A and B are shown apart, each in its own frame.
Chain A
Amino acid sequence: MSLSETDRRTLAAVAAILIPADSALGMPSAGDPAILADIERSIGRDGAAVAEILTGLGGANEATILDRMAEPDTAARLFGRLVLGAYYRDDRVLAALGHEARAPFPKGYVLDQGDWSLLDPVKQRPIFWRKDA
């Protein structure tokens, strides 16, 4: 689904208010052009929710946008999920969070063994599952 020019402008304004830039932390705004393009590309099955939110928020101020997105309805939930999904896979965002900007496969990750000695007291416990006869 591609947006009309008006909806595209509303999306940029809304996204920038939902997640503003923070230069000290190195975080772009969700209104950044690359992130906006990713959001738009990802609308897919959420077209109705996006249309509902953008139509309702055209020209709205910050307080109205934040109030609308705090409502516990499906449109706000799906629209928010779309923005967050695109934002938190942006290379700059992941780098600023100390995460590698890549798919999990094929490299995977390392998981520490952790402290197996913690299990020693549990091993000392008598059997306690209930007998059936």
Chain B
Amino acid sequence: MTTQHDKVDVLIVGSGASGAAAAWSLAETRMRILCLEQGDWMKSDQFPSNGRDWEARRHGDFDILPNRRARAADYPVNDDNSLMKVANFNAVGGGTVMYTAHWPRLHPSDFKVKSLDNVADDWPIDYWTLEKFYEENDRMMGVSGLAGDPGVPPRHPPMPPIPLGKTGSLYGRAMNDLGWHWWPSDTTVATTEYEGRAACINLGHCTPGCAQGAKASTDITYWPLAIRAGVELRPNSRVREIATGPDGMATGAIYYDADGREHFQPAEVVILACNGVGTPRLLLNSVSDKFPNGLANSSGLVGKNLMMHPWPVISGYVQQPLDGGRGPITSIWSKQFYETDPARDFVRGYMLQFNRGTGPASQAILSVGAGQLPWGRDHHKTYRELLDHRVAIGVACDDLPEEHNQVTLDPVLKDSNGIPAPKIDYTISENTRRMMEHGIARAEEILNAAGATRIHCSRTVLNYPGHLLGTARMGTDPARSVVNEWGRSHDVKNLFIVDGSVFVTGGGVNPTSTIQATALYIADQMKQRLANLFD
């Protein structure tokens, strides 16, 4: 038996980075807004840094990979055919509960790669369209950073940056010796009290939830405000499919509650915010006579052009002790190699993200994995040269869209509700491979300049940054895109997408500030067009 609910004006699926921003923005319309989220609210006293097993839990119930974590809210992902694995988090707040809070924006050039570099496609919107939404989002999430970076367009972080510490200072010195750009990273870790959030007390790595509440996740930033403004958030509600009527319009969503009972939630407007894997999965699972290839898929591009940011990490060890794992992992970024340089053998570029060290157990696990820490008699001697001496640089490579990189439905694998799971096929392009090698070589130069030895980089085990982009791209041509330039499906006029699926190109930075700025922009467009939203 299916439980029928009262109709809402706006139904949002997914409460993560983008769903929360859209809900908050639309709340001022006083429409009846409901968000369905498959996960539950997180409690900060259950985050790993509350306990002595904080490092081990990163390989258990707080692993970044849903297949390993396997919480009740997680769905399995078949990513066997991809070097890049899918990292995510499924809860109120989505991936912002489980992210590192590094907060760069795309550059203006990222929106114009066809015009500037003759690759891929331009976005139908540009940086300057998003600029005011970036600023609004920075205030809402609470960003720490330093204005005046010559490597990026002007921005105004409301809080001072995270301390450089010993590790950041070491990097800064090395970068100055090489004459290369660096700047303290923008981050959504609060360095002062901010809108009811406590300031960072350097618990260590921020990724698996912040017990202090200093890291901005949308369950503690946007959601309390959206709920106070009248939005309803229904957790533990996993959407199976978006239903449509004979006129081809979306009528609502069929979902399961925590006990596996089926519900139907009718709605005037449906907004998808399930991320670059969850959204195409849901669209491909929403099959009907009218939409036999999945919803909003007349272009055949739903699930195609997946971008995941290949991200090699180059590590080394210096003689002097550094910050280790005491403090946020983020420290500085470099945009020295971000923009296209015709002298190189690839187009586009990458950001370098400089990390602090790790805690004691993670240090041992990483070094054994890298073949740098032996088992047996020499274990202790070597370990003492590693712990608190680690430096590591990530190369965040721009990822251009390619149709063969895709999310489809796995013919066998299903989640706990019997809903077909996503399957990922993804290969790293030649352009990106060359970019990776360039970045690895530059990172090695930096680590050498910093006096590091034992330099190591794996080409097979990369960092999995949880950046899931491009699978329902935005564009003006319905044959070449899934949503239009303001986020509305070309095929279904009351269906919108606000998450990272709409990215046309990936850029070479962490995407969440852009995902949220885009969600705020789309919500703003909807508000401006309320009278003729479906025309």
Residues of chain A at the chain B interface (Cβ within 8 Å):
17-20, 22, 25, 27, 42, 44-45, 62, 66, 69-70, 77, 80-81, 84-89, 93-94, 97, 99, 101-116, 118-119, 121-123, 125-132
Contact = CB atoms under 8 A, between A and B. Distances in A.
Contacts of A44: 60
B398 interface: no
9 tightest A-B CB contacts, nearest first: A108-B201, A114-B164, A109-B326, A132-B108, A118-B172, A88-B361, A111-B327, A114-B169, A85-B56
Given A89-B53, A104-B204, A108-B200, 20 more contacts: A19-B379, A42-B53, A80-B365, A85-B55, A88-B361, A88-B363, A89-B52, A94-B360, A97-B360, A103-B54, A105-B49, A108-B202, A111-B202, A115-B172, A118-B176, A119-B183, A122-B181, A129-B107, A129-B151, A129-B339
A27 B360 contact: no
B194 to A, nearest CB: 17
A45 B340 CA distance: 45
Interface of B: 47, 49-56, 59-60, 68, 70, 107-109, 111-112, 115-116, 126-127, 146, 148, 150-153, 162-166, 168-169, 172-173, 175-176, 181-184, 200-204, 211-212, 323, 326-327, 335, 338-340, 359-361, 363-365, 368-369, 375-377, 379-380, 384, 387
Given A105-B49, A132-B108, A132-B112, A111 B326 contact: yes
B380 A25 contact: yes
Contacts, number: 178
A116 to B, nearest CB: 7
Contact of A103 (B49, B166, B173): B49
Contact of B364 (A17, A20, A84): A84
Contacts of A99: 360
Contacts of B109: 129-132
Given A84-B368, A111-B327, A104 B54 contact: yes
A66 B375 contact: yes
Contacts of A126: 150
A125 B376 CA distance: 50
Nearest to B45: A105
Given A104-B204, A114-B169, A129 B116 contact: no
B369 A113 contact: no
13 contacts: A19-B379, A45-B68, A85-B361, A93-B360, A94-B360, A97-B360, A109-B327, A118-B164, A119-B146, A121-B176, A129-B107, A129-B153, A129-B339
A124 B68 CA distance: 47
B172 A130 contact: no
A93 B359 CA distance: 13
